[in-house]
Amino acid sequence: MTLRRAAPLFLLLLASACTVATPNSDIVTNSEAVAAEQAAAPKPVPTAEPEVVEAAPAPPPIQRLDLGIAIKEAELTQGGWVRGKLPQGTQEAMLGDEVVDFDEDGNFFAAFDRDAPESLLLTAYHRIGRSISLPLAISPREWDIERVNVPLRPSGTSEEWWERREPEWLAIKEARDKETGAQGWRQQFVWPVTGRISGRFGRQRIYQGEPGSYHSGLDIAPGNGVPFVSPADGVVVLARTGFSLEGGIVIVDHGAGLNSAFIHLSRLSVAEGDVVKQGQQLGNVGSSGRATGPHLHWSLVWKDSRLDPLLFLPPMP
């Protein structure tokens, strides 16, 4: 009898633990399964860095002409004047066709000619391109007009006389055009001298229907040699004697285009370039030049406009 020995136990266990794949087998090892699972898993999508967008700068605040033109005090009549304040940010100002000067705070002075129209437009132009306008009603005045039935004398002059007069006329014009930065235009004016009023501003003769030149200032007759003073602070821009028409003359710039001229003087107390204060003596009343008697002729001019000095003064003391 032939006996068959059983296979050892450990060999049976090893055979059961091994898997044998045939060429057509669908069975895979554990390591291959893991690799296949990893290959089939969705790939992570790389994320892009977030784009940094700078915030747009805030727009500048809107600038507005939020303040009107303020009138502080005025004589709104022919030969009169106005003081006021322009809106903040004003770059240029006009009264009609005339440029108006103003300080860094917008304070201004302007005035109206003897023959100014009944309405003038005061306009402030802002630096952002806008503008604001204020119509000013200018009241007309009844001037002292004398009508005479004689012809107007010819105004022609000899060449010899004009050769002497022309440099005087140019000196007066250049003096009135000077800008000194004086601040007297801000002040309430005082009387340069007191006395009888012998001639008023604006008086005029009409010769057979043809108007002659009107009186361009205020005449005060206190007596020969009486001293007179500056009605406001200023700078002396002309001080001469011997002019053919004016005789002794002093012109004081008060700033902002406003100036005073005093003529027919017997004596001058100041020189060109002097800085004078309100109430300071400028000279003495006389009858030099073309005058019929001793008196102080005081004329006030703003730019090219002739003004009435009485409208700048309190009642005579």
| pLDDT (tens digit per residue) in 252-299 | 999 999 999 999 999 999 999 999 999 999 999 999 999 999 999 999
The pTM (predicted TM-score) of the whole model is 0.78
* DSSP-derived 3-state class of residue 18: coil
* DSSP-derived 3-state class of residue 110: strand
User: pLDDT at position 88, please?
Assistant: 92
Long-range contacts (CB closer than 8 Å, 24 or more residues apart) made by 255-258:
255/179, 255/180, 255/181, 255/182, 255/183, 255/184, 255/185, 256/101, 256/102, 256/108, 256/109, 256/185, 256/302, 257/101, 257/109, 257/302, 257/303, 258/109, 258/111, 258/184, 258/185, 258/300, 258/301, 258/302
Share of the chain above pLDDT 90, in %: 70
| pLDDT (tens digit per residue) in 20-50 | 333 343 434 444 544 455 555 555 555 555 5
Q: Which one is the CATH code of 70-137: 2.40.50, 2.60.40, 2.10.220, 3.30.410?
A: 2.60.40
* The architecture CATH gives domain 155-312: Distorted Sandwich (2.70)
Domain ranges for the chain, please list them. Answer: 70-137, 155-312
pLDDT over 60 at 84, yes or no: yes
